[in-house]
A and B are shown apart, each in its own frame.
Chain A
Amino acid sequence: MESPRHRLLVVDDSNVIRRRIERATEVPEIEFVGAARNGVEALEMHARLQPTLVTMDLTMPEMDGAECVSQLVQRDPQLRILVISALADKLTAIEALERGASGFLCKPFTDRQLNDALRKLIDAA
């Protein structure tokens, strides 16, 4: 039987981080479908690519990650969003969760921490 597929969209203004998340993701059920550089691109790519999982940076130009989380969850309440941010205070994490994110991972992160966080996200889905 084919394992269920989760379609991953990566949102971060850093190309290095986008490529790292794509490369480091080793959860077999997850398929990388695209990467966006800001919240505006993320909304457009969500409509086009229909991801089921999103990793979301917070500090980005055009539209920041917090606003993008709110808009994505409004469009698609089933979407699982992992916020990955350098903003390491508890209030920022709580605000992201209140806006509808499903998890929070602090930068810097190891490959293992990334995969553990993604695994938790899909196990909870």
Chain B
Amino acid sequence: MSLESEVGVFVGAVLQYFATTVQQAALCGTPHLALNGPPELSDYTGVIRVTGKRSGLVAFTAPRSMLSVMLMRMQETDMSNANLRDLVGEIANTLAGNARRDFGQQFQISVPEAVTGRESRLSYPAAGRPIVIPIEWRNYHARLIVCLR
């Protein structure tokens, strides 16, 4: 599968996630390679480790304000730190899991981990080149980071 097709798989998953879960469309900006160091993280980041035929990570990173509004759209009243971490992990899990439709069963994913804070660091696979897919929803900005070997 070409890099362009792989990115397309994740863009499709993002669009479907927002349309289905919060029932408001998101827009994906132009995907780009993170060439000048690791991609910036937002307040909360959900990380899925990928093993099998491909290895690396899929991460979804978003500001607290965006995640809080998403929870509200899901009729959730608990905006605690624990629930925001849970949501960001579940989004990463769903986007990575949906990619198995195109990548096949050899694309094995971990349970989600969540990290908090913009200063956090993810451990990327050696020689991996993270692809950043900007996501705009309402007036909020999030990113999907895909780094697979």
CB-based contact A92/B82 at 8 Å: no
Is B71 an interface position by the 8 A CB rule? yes
Interface membership of chain A positions 1-44, coded 1 if the CB is closer than 8 angstroms to chain B and 0 otherwise: 00000000000011111011001100000000000000000000
Interface centre among A19, A20, A108 (most CB of B within 10 A): A108
B23 and A107 contact, CB distance less than 8 A? no
Within the assembled complex, what's the spacing in Å between the Cα atoms of A110 and B75?
13
A selection of 22 A-B contacts at a CB cut-off of 8 Å is A14-B87, A15-B83, A16-B76, A19-B78, A20-B74, A20-B75, A59-B109, A61-B111, A85-B97, A86-B93, A87-B97, A88-B97, A88-B98, A88-B100, A88-B101, A91-B105, A107-B94, A108-B17, A108-B21, A109-B20, A110-B20, A110-B23
Q: How far is the CA of A20 from the CA of B89 in the complex (A)?
A: 15
Given A19-B78, A20-B74, A86-B96, residue A14 in contact with residue B90 (CB < 8 A): yes
- Is B89 a contact of A14 with CB atoms below 8 Å? yes
Interface size on B, residues (CB 8 A): 30
**Within the complex, what minimum Cβ distance (angstroms) separates A33 from chain B?**
21
CA distance A24 to B76 in the complex (A): 11
* Contact status of A89 and B100, CB under 8 A, knowing A16-B74, A16-B86, A19-B76: yes
